[in-house]
Amino acid sequence: MKNFLIIVITCFMMSSCQEEERELIDPTIDTTISTNSTLAKLMKNVVIHDGSYDDIVDGGNCFSIDLPYILLVNGEPKTILQREDYNTIGSTDRIDIQFPVMVTFSDYQQATINSVKELEAISSQCEVDDEDIECIDFIYPIQISTFNTRSNSLSATLLNHDFDFFLFMSSIDENTSFSINYPIDLVLYTGESIDTQHNSGLQEAISKVVSACDENDE
């Protein structure tokens, strides 16, 4: 009888472990996110580089000028060290950028700009209604589990920044699904914090604020 109980308990433990493993790697369960899903697209748009906060200087919402750099504001030199420095510049000020400067685009690619003509050329390529969702941001770190249906392999990734998240979202393909290690927190442009416990809650939180703020809100 004692041996029988040991066998039953062992089988139960093995079954539990197998079930736990299935929940971690099965790409068909509710916790997984496919690369072409609405939630995946929303998440990627949240982590696109926001280039609108310095539009008063560069006129392009799809890129930003890397800090620090120097401006002449009404003929007076001004070093831009942080985003808050743009608050001291008015729309009627005469602004001259001291070239060359480095810029970062929405996909985090970078380029050196050497003149006003070059700056105006890349600014003209920006769309008025860009995909960037500025109204909400992830709070890091975030742990992601990735499942590849082709190789049947599972891996874990720790994300510490929007740049990490964007690279991750850009690197996965149709053979890959992923899941988030919940709970995760987000912060609204109003400063309010949101706790999300599952995919539907995360999608709802982002969807509610897609159009809640305008360019230049952070």
Tokens 């979202």 belong to residue: 169
pLDDT at 14 over 90: no
The whole-number average pLDDT for the span 62-71 is: 97
Q: What is the residue-wise DSSP string for 187-218?
A: EETTS-EEEE-SHHHHHHHHHHTTTSS-TT--
Q: How far apart are CA 84 and CA 66, in angstroms?
A: 14
pLDDT, tens digit (0-9, with 9 covering 90-100), for 81-120: 999 999 999 999 999 999 999 999 999 999 999 999 999 9
Which has the closest alpha carbon to 180: 27, 33, 23?
33
Q: Max alpha carbon distance in the chain (Å)? A: 93
Band of pLDDT at residue 29, cut at 50, 70 and 90:
very low
> Tell me: the pLDDT tens digits for 124-155?
999 877 788 989 999 999 999 999 888 888 99
Spatial distance between the Cα atoms of 199 and 180, rounded to a whole number of angstroms: 8
Give this prediction's pTM: 0.79
> Token pair of 176, please?
């890959």
Q: What is the mean pLDDT of the chain?
A: 86
